[in-house]
Structure 1
Amino acid sequence: MSTQPIDVQSVLDGFDTPWSPRIPLYVNDYDIRIAKFLGEHVWHVHHETDEFFLVLDGEIAIGLREADGERVVTLPRGSMFVVPRGTFHMPSSEQGASVLLVEPTGTLSVGDEHDEVPDHVDATIGHRV
């Protein structure tokens, strides 16, 4: 783990690939992930963990499949949201966005269960910076 401050913009400048999160830091057993969003991800679910989103730049939408149907949560820059464990969800961004995520280390970016993963989505546990 780094003992020096990490500049978020430097992390973002270090990669271009959407849906391919980078891990600059760990907190206890959690990854602090930085990702770029563009287009649609994939419908997926994390059965055992919540997923935290903080929009650093741009705007994202998160589709949610809940007991009473589907809805979409829109998060502009500076907004935070937690997808509860066991909720199918699909993040997307029409214009592109930069997002900070917090998830337990080793969490697969496409969840425990998912639709077919498109080629533009990196099914990964994250890439260390």
Structure 2
Amino acid sequence: MSRPVAVTGWAVHLDAADAPAVLGRKGLLYKEPATRLALCAVHRALGLPDGARPGTALDPDTAVVASSNLGNIGTVVDVARTVAREGGRGVSLMAAPNASSNVVAGTVALWFRFGGPNLMLCNGETSGSTPWPPARS
């Protein structure tokens, strides 16, 4: 069954440090910069006022597709180093979920109550820099 796809808004956000002002402080303590940037960009694209969280019901018709070159690489490296040094028990329960490659798309889906599929495209250095549409040969 095919369904129409509509892009109804877009935004760019470049400063993860101002995420508490845009999103409100609650729930951001252990979020990485890439996740905070994505949350801020979606917040702006939806036209929400600063500090407001969506109070809507879960929307099963809205999907999230995100792409990042190395969005959560800092956490992945930190977790790997901790495991090598201290074993799995040394990894913080708050840091471990951020090591998932789908953390950005999943967090956006949860934060904004998007219940459709969520997909993170992350193939290293070319993920965010490949021209679209691809050149034809």
Query: Which structure: greater strand fraction?
Result: 1
Q: TM-score, normalised to structure 1's length?
A: 0.26
Structure exhibiting the larger radius of gyration computed from Cα positions: 2
- Which has the higher relative contact order, 1 or 2, with Cα contacts under 8 A spaced 6 or more apart? 1
Query: Which structure: greater helix fraction?
Result: 2
